[in-house]
């Protein structure tokens, strides 16, 4: 069985205080990390299969076409640290190329990665694996119990886009410190025409809407609140100045929500901001990597320049 480490920072009390502050703010906001309970993880997997959501497929195509060159640039045999591992499928598809000496899957969704990692260990019995349940949205500090040595930090899927750029810079600095002199492999979604961007966050089947509204069920479980997802509509828009997609939930009627001695009135049309997804230009992200202290950056992209995979050394 893979080792499993549950980091103390992910205790529910921390989440409750943070959620309460966000829900009482004007306008209300909830961190996108709360999108990922077990159902949210499954809905996100479904999103990655939608015709409108190209990012995951394009990234996989870049790995498929340029994998050997990527592996040459970054080196093989390192400890592969998979940040936001989810179902671990992306990292597992690169085991052959990257030949990791140890695989460390890190995710906020403890139960989800525990299951994914156990299944993966059966398919790769020789590869030492460790699961780490950790909320790294505020800061990244990997458990000291992990073995030392250079690490290949893997952050695919443009999850970096869910941080504000200043936070992203700080996070990338922390990732560099935690790499222990190793390397970085990171996926970034690029700016593209609105006609492609918007449907990716407002698909015809309503899967992204379900993903967004499911956040309220997760919040209810954590806070004991009484949100009814049926009262909330999914809203996605693009802010060209900030170069980000925003997801919101919009109250479809006047309503009150109660939890733990608190009450928040929402008028019809009031919103809760649930996610930002920044879209970068290649030069802009390269600069961000350098500002965070990474060097020898390389970039691989698809023909349409829809998505970019960056490699860098600490
Ligand atoms: C995980 N993250 C990079 C996704 C994104 O595109 O920002 C989450 C997502 N939100 C809506 N659809 C997908």
ipTM: 0.99
DSSP string over 81-149: EEET-TTSHHHHHTHHHH--SEEEEEES-HHHHHHHHHHHHHH-TTS-EEEEE---SS-----TTSPPS
Report the SS3 class of residue 213.
Answer: helix
Candidates 273, 276, 284, 274; CA nearest to 191 is 284
Is residue 227 within 8 Å of residue 219, measured between CB atoms? yes
pLDDT for position 12: 64
Distance of CA 59 to the CA centre of its chain: 14
- CA 128 / ligand 1 centre spacing (Å): 30
Number of helical (H) and strand (E) elements in the chain, helices listed first: 10, 14
Candidates 57, 61, 59, 151; CA nearest to 98 is 151
Candidates 179, 15, 187; CA nearest to 104 is 179
Residue pointed to by tokens 């941080």: 163
Report the SS3 class of residue 255.
Answer: strand
Report the alpha-carbon distance of residue 169 to residue 115 in Å, rounded. Answer: 32
pLDDT for position 15: 83
Report the alpha-carbon distance of residue 51 to residue 60 in Å, rounded. Answer: 15
Q: Which parts of the chain have pLDDT scores under 70?
A: 8-13
Report the alpha-carbon distance of residue 179 to residue 192 in Å, rounded. Answer: 31
pLDDT for position 107: 93
Whose C-alpha lies nearest to ligand 1, atom 5? 277
pLDDT digits (tens, 9 = 90+) for 11-34: 566 789 999 999 999 999 999 999
Residues at CB less than 6 angstroms from ligand 1 = 47, 157-159, 161-162, 201, 208, 275, 277
pLDDT for position 14: 76
pLDDT digits (tens, 9 = 90+) for 82-138: 999 999 999 999 999 999 999 999 998 888 899 999 999 999 999 999 999 998 988
Is residue 7 within 8 Å of residue 251, measured between CB atoms? no
- CA 277 / ligand 1 centre spacing (Å): 7
Whose C-alpha lies nearest to ligand 1, atom 10? 201
Whose C-alpha lies nearest to ligand 1, atom 12? 201
Whose C-alpha lies nearest to ligand 1, atom 6? 277
């Amino acid at each position: 069985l893979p080792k499993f480490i549950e980091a103390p920072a992910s205790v529910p009390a921390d989440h409750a205080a943070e959620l309460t502050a966000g829900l009482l703010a004007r306008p209300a906001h909830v961190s996108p990390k709360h999108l990922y309970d077990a159902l949210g993880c499954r809905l996100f997997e479904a999103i990655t299969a939608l015709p409108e959501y190209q990012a995951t497929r394009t990234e996989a195509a870049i790995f498929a076409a340029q994998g050997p060159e990527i592996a040459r640039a970054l080196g093989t045999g390192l400890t592969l640290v998979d940040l936001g591992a989810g179902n671990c499928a992306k990292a597992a598809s690169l085991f052959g190329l990257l030949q990791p000496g140890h695989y460390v899957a890190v995710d906020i969704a403890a139960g989800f990665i525990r299951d994914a990692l156990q299944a993966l260990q059966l398919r790769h019995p020789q590869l030492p694996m460790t699961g780490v349940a950790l909320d790294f949205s505020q800061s990244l500090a990997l458990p000291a119990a992990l073995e030392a040595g250079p690490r290949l930090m893997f952050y695919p899927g443009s999850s970096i886009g869910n941080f504000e750029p200043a936070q992203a810079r700080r996070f990338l600095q922390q990732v560099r410190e935690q790499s222990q002199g190793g390397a970085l492999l990171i996926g970034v979604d690029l700016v593209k025409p609105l006609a492609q961007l918007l449907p990716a966050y407002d698909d015809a089947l309503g899967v992204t809407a379900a993903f967004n509204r499911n956040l309220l069920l997760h919040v209810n479980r954590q806070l004991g609140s009484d949100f009814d997802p049926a009262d909330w509509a999914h809203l996605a828009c693009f802010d060209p100045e900030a170069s980000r997609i925003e997801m919101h939930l919009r109250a479809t009627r006047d309503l009150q929500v109660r939890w733990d001695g608190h009450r928040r009135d929402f008028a019809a049309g009031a919103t809760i901001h649930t996610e930002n997804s920044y879209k970068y230009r290649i030069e802009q992200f390269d600069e961000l990597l350098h500002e965070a202290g990474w060097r020898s950056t390389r970039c691989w992209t698809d023909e349409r320049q829809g998505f970019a995979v960056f490699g860098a050394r600490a």
